[in-house]
Amino acid sequence: SSTGSIEDARALAGHLGIAFDLISIELPFEAFLTSLSGVFEGKAPDVTEENIQARIRGTYLMAYSNKWNSLLLTTGNKSELSVGYCTLYGDMAGGLGAIGDLLKTEVYALARHVNRNTEVIPWATLEKPPSAELRPGQKDQDSLPPYDELDRILRAYLVAHADEAALVRQGEDPATVRRVLKLTAAAEYKRWQAPPVLKVAPVSFGIGRRLPLVRSFFELNGAFMNVDFPGTKL
Average pLDDT over residues 48-74: 97
Q: Which CATH number fits domain 3-220: 3.40.50.11540, 3.40.50.720, 3.40.50.620, 3.40.109.10?
A: 3.40.50.620
Find the mean pLDDT for residues 145-172: 96
Domain boundaries, the chain: 3-220
Report residue 215's pLDDT band, with 50, 70 and 90 as the boundaries: low
pLDDT value for 207: 74
The DSSP code for 123 is H
pLDDT band (50, 70, 90) for residue 141: confident
In tens, the pLDDT along 77-113 reads 999 999 999 999 999 999 999 999 999 999 999 999 9
Q: How many other β-carbons are positioned within 10 Å of the β-carbon of residue 226?
A: 7
226 pLDDT above the threshold of 80: no
pTM summary value: 0.85
Question: Average model confidence (pLDDT) for the chain?
Answer: 89
- Using only the alpha carbons of the chain, give its radius of gyration: 19
pLDDT score, position 128: 87
- DSSP letter (8 states) at residue 94: S
Neighbours of 102 (CB within 10 A): 21
Residue 120 predicted with pLDDT over 70 = yes
Angstrom distance (rounded) from CA 161 to CA 138? 32
Give the C-alpha separation, 231 to 234, whole Å.
Answer: 9
Please, are residues 47 and 149 in contact by the beta-carbon 8 Å criterion?
Answer: no
- Segments of the chain assigned E as strands: 73-74, 96-97
pLDDT of the residue at 139: 74
pLDDT single digits (tens) 181-190: 999 999 999 9
Q: pLDDT at position 90, please?
A: 96
